[in-house]
């Protein structure tokens, strides 16, 4: 009476995604003012690992390596958090913006920038710190507002509160920009996101929070599956949905805030990557979260490569590239199958 | 056959929303091996009473015992191992397979972190076989018909492996044949030793398949008793605001037919506020 197992080749899918990530990585590192093929980059990397090298390719690869590493890690965390948040809110439109953490983090960074409070020690900058705190604070406000309603922090009121608060923070940023017009370029960077001027120290400062976020996401994978059946059914299985949303959402906010504190508010990766991942591995979160992370890494690596090279030497904000690719993709999905298209 | 145990006992339970009682002073019992049918007009509070009785809604007063424990003494997890819930409709945003949906109920036994044990697999397998949903175990709920989806949700409750099942109008929107099938299914579940508390609209189905009846009146009062003495024309007239007549068929036996609406209730249609 065992049901015939539908042949699903998940390991193969992960292998393909990992290979795609590797290829994207090598391609991204090879792109720039001087271009190399992925193969040449791979050889240069191997030589670097073996302690050889000293040619210009080695110097440049080393430089671009850090940046590509940043893009991959941030892309992975944004996409992984997006998958968690979509599961948590049972909503295919949820992304790191919906719990306010992205816009809160951008607001924090802009406040520090416009007040001229930039200090930095050991790679930990006050801007990054303010972005991190802004993201966490925004999420806290969202939870408090939604929790104040009679039906305690249900998915819909959290989504609404998050959306409203995001608009509020965006408005505050506009007001600050209107009053203080200096540093416009830097502010722009925080609002649209990017990796210029970011280095290993920024990544290392954020890495603990990103790792904790990812581990928490994987640990809550089963809980997110249960939550998909609705709060009432989840409660009938013995779960406390409101508490789960608080804890799991808190960890997601931690990861998102850390990511934004490194790279600014990059949109659409957290929204689109989980949708693509669901096509490959289905909705079960212990498969979905890693697949989303891989796809998010690929997306942001390639987007950053485009941002760097499309109008070189002028650099585009990477958030603009992800939105330019992500938004039409999303619209296409909706036009084809309505809300079902993005499920 | 063992002596039936009382799986659920309500004593003067009041249920409602935000301090406004919809159902007042409900007292009833669900013994093992029995089907208890919950009847009432739209908005009388069938769903509210069901959810409150199994702890999905806070109660406004009275006491509620699940097995030997007062409900408030049970943790969510302990409660989930004693009673399972079958909602009216499945709520699933993503395309989980039928098997994955049914497996979710094992959360009650293994908690948030443990992976599936052999015992879990067996419970899922047995529940799927009992509800005959094996053949679409790899399809998603969204692809199934209403009747099929209903069977999946009941299988999910069976996989939870609780002595007591509470079902919210499982027969709604099913054609007559499938309604009969579903009631027979609930009867079989009860005959296997479980207790079944189910809200229904069909008076005759309740007569035929239930052992006890809970009748909710428009004013929120509740009558509990055996099928024969509770499903009378007089009681139904009052509870349903509808004139019923009694008939007899040599094959079917006694049956009850709704004839006309008596008078409009002051307020209708506040069922299913969640």
- Domains of chain A (ranges, CATH numbers): 17-342 (1.10.3470.10)
Task: Judge contact between A168 and A294, C-beta under 8 A.
Answer: no
Q: Give CA separation, B170 vs A26, A236, B86, B193, in Å.
A: 56, 17, 8, 20
| Contact yes or no for B157/B105 (Cβ under 8 A) | yes
Of A206, A200, A327, A324, nearest in space to A260 by CA: A206
Q: Which of A183-192, A253-262, A286-295, B174-183 has the lowest mean pLDDT?
A: A183-192
A121: part of which helix (H) or strand (E)? strand A120-121
Smallest Cβ–Cβ distance between A238 and the set B76, B92, B129 belongs to B76
B3: number of Cβ within 10 Å:
7
Q: Mean pLDDT, consecutive 10-residue segments, chain B of 274 residues?
A: 85 88 92 96 92 93 93 93 92 88 92 85 93 90 88 94 96 88 94 96 94 95 94 92 92 91 63 47
Given the DSSP bridges, would you call strands A124-125 and B6-17 parallel, antiparallel or unpaired? unpaired
- What pTM value is reported for the model? 0.88
In tens, the pLDDT along A226-274 reads: 998 888 999 999 999 888 888 998 899 889 888 988 888 898 899 999 9
pLDDT greater at residue B123 or residue A163: B123
The answer on pLDDT for A152 being more than 60 is no
CA dihedral A9, A12, A14, A17 (to 10 degrees): -120
Q: Would the CB atoms of A1 and B85 count as touching at under 8 Å?
A: no
Q: What are phi and psi of A7, to 5 degrees?
A: -65, 105
Chain B residue at shortest CA distance from A244: B112
- Return the CA Rg of chain B: 19
Look at phi and psi of residue A183 and say left if phi exceeds 0, alpha if psi is from -120 to 50, else beta. Answer: left
pLDDT for residue A185:
72
Distance from A95 to chain B by nearest Cα, in Å? Answer: 16
Reply yes or no on whether the pLDDT at A116 is more than 80.
no
Contact call for residues B215 and B226 (beta carbons, < 8 A) = no
Nearest-by-Cβ selection for B96 from A219, A222, A283: A283
Judge whether residue A280 has pLDDT over 80. Answer: yes
CB contact under 8 A, B80 and A150: no
Chain center to CA of B233: 24
Q: What is the mean pLDDT of residues A7-19?
A: 87
CB neighbour list of residue A167: distance below 8 Å, 6 or more residues apart: none
Query: Of B273, B242, B245, nearest to B260 (Cα)?
Result: B242
> With 60 as the cut, is the pLDDT of residue A4 above it?
no
Count, residues in chain B: 274
Query: Could you give phi then psi for residue A46, rounded to 5 degrees?
Result: -60, -40
Q: Is the pLDDT of residue A283 over 90?
A: yes
Cα Rg of chain A (Å, integer): 20
Q: Where do the DSSP E strands lie in chain B?
A: 6-17, 20-31, 35-40, 61-66, 69-70, 83-86, 164-167, 195-199, 212-216, 222-226, 242-249, 253-261
Any B CB within 8 A of A149 CB: no
Dist CA B46 CA B28 (whole Å): 13
Q: A with B: how many residue pairs have Cβ under 8 Å apart? A: 88
In Å, how far are A116, A188, A191, B79, B198 from B38, measured between CA atoms?
Answer: 68, 62, 57, 21, 6
Mean pLDDT to the nearest integer, A287-309: 95
CB contact under 8 A, B138 and A3: yes
Let me know the angle formed at the C-alpha of A288 by A24 and B114, rounded to the nearest 5 degrees. 135
Each residue of A41-97: pLDDT tens digit? 998 888 888 887 777 788 888 888 999 999 999 999 999 999 999 998 888 878 877
Instruction: Please state whether the peptide bond connecting residue A61 to the residue before it is cis, i.e. omega within 30 degrees of 0.
Output: no
Helix/strand/coil (H, E, C) string of A205-254?
HHHHHHHHHHHHHHHCHHHHHHHCCCHHHHHHCCCCHHHHHHHHHHHHHH
- The rounded distance, in Å, linking the Cα atoms of B53 and A193 is 52
Are residues B61 and B13 in contact, defined by beta-carbon separation less than 8 angstroms? yes
pLDDT-derived band at A142 (thresholds 50, 70, 90) equals: confident
- The beta-carbon neighbor of B85 closest among A225, A233, A343 is A233
Q: Which residue has the higher pLDDT, A286 or B92?
A: A286
> What is the Cα–Cα distance from A222 to A81, expressed in whole angstroms?
15
User: In this complex, which of B85, B90, B138 lies closest to A236 when CB atoms are compared?
Assistant: B85
Whether B13 and B63 have beta carbons less than 8 Å apart is answered as yes
Candidates B84, B93, B102, B114, partner chain A, best to mutate (most A CBs within 10 A): B93
- Cβ contact, residue pair B105, A237, below 8 Å: yes
Task: Find the range with the poorest average confidence among A8-12, A135-139, A204-208, A250-254.
Answer: A8-12
* Residue A98 Rama label (left phi>0; alpha psi -120 to 50; beta): alpha
Taking contacts as CB-CB distances below 8 angstroms, the residues of chain B near A236 are 54, 56, 80, 83-85
């Amino acid at each position: 009476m065992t049901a015939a197992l539908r042949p699903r080749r998940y390991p193969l899918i992960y292998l393909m995604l990992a290979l795609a990530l590797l290829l994207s990585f090598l391609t991204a590192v090879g792109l720039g003012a001087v271009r190399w093929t992925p193969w040449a980059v791979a050889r240069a990397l191997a030589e670097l690992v073996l302690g050889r090298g000293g040619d210009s390719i080695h110097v440049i690869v080393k430089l671009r390596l850090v940046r590509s590493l940043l893009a991959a890690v941030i892309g992975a965390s944004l996409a992984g958090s997006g998958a968690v948040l979509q599961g948590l809110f049972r909503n295919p439109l949820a992304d790191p913006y919906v719990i306010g953490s992205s816009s809160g983090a951008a607001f924090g960074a802009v406040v520090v920038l416009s007040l001229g409070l930039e200090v930095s020690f050991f790679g930990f900058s006050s801007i990054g710190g303010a972005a991190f705190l802004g993201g966490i604070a925004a999420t806290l406000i969202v939870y408090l507002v939604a929790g104040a309603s009679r039906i305690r922090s249900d998915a819909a009121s959290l989504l609404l509160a998050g959306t409203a608060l995001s608009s509020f923070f965006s408005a505050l940023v506009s007001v600050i920009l209107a009053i203080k017009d200096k540093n416009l370029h830097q502010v722009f960077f925080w609002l649209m996101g990017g990796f210029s001027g970011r280095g290993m120290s920024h990544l290392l400062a954020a890495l603990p929070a990103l790792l904790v976020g990812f581990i928490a996401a994987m640990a809550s994978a089963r809980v997110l599956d249960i939550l998909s059946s609705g709060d009432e059914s989840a409660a009938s299985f013995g779960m406390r949905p409101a508490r789960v949303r608080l804890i799991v959402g808190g960890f997601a906010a931690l990861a998102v805030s850390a990511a934004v504190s490194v790279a600014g508010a990059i949109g659409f990766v957290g929204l689109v990557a989980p949708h693509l991942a669901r096509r490959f591995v289905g909705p079960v979160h212990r498969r979905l979260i890693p697949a989303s992370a891989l796809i998010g890494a690929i997306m942001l690596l390639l987007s950053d490569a485009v941002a760097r090279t499309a109008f070189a030497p002028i650099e585009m904000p990477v958030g603009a590239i992800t939105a330019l690719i992500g938004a039409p993709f999303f619209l296409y999905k909706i036009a084809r199958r309505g809300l079902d298209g993005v499920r | 056959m063992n002596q039936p145990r009382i799986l659920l006992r309500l004593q003067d339970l009041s249920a409602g929303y935000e301090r406004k009682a919809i159902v007042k002073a409900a007292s009833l019992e669900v013994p093992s091996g029995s089907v208890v049918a919950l009847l009432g007009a739209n908005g009388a509070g069938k769903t509210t009473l069901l959810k409150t009785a199994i702890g999905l809604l806070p109660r406004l007063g009275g006491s509620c015992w699940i097995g030997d424990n007062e409900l408030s003494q049970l943790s969510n997890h302990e409660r989930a191992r004693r009673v399972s819930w079958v909602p009216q409709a499945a709520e699933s945003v993503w395309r989980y397979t039928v098997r994955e949906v049914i497996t979710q109920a094992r959360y009650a036994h293994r908690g948030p972190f443990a992976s599936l044990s052999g015992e879990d697999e067996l419970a899922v397998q047995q529940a799927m076989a009992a509800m005959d949903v094996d053949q679409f175990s790899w399809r998603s709920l969204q692809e199934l018909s209403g009747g099929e989806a209903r069977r999946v949700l009941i299988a999910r409750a069976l996989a939870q492996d609780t002595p007591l099942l509470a079902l919210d109008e499982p027969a709604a929107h099913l054609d007559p044949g499938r309604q009969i099938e579903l009631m027979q299914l609930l009867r079989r579940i009860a005959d296997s030793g479980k207790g079944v508390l189910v809200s229904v609209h069909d008076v005759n189905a309740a007569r035929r398949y239930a052992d006890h009846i809970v009748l909710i009146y428009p004013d929120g009062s509740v009558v509990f008793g055996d099928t024969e003495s509770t499903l009378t024309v007089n009681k139904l007239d009052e509870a349903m605001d509808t004139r019923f007549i009694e008939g007899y068929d040599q094959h079917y036996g006694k049956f009850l037919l709704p004839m006309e609406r008596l008078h409009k209730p002051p307020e209708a249609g506040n069922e299913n506020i969640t």
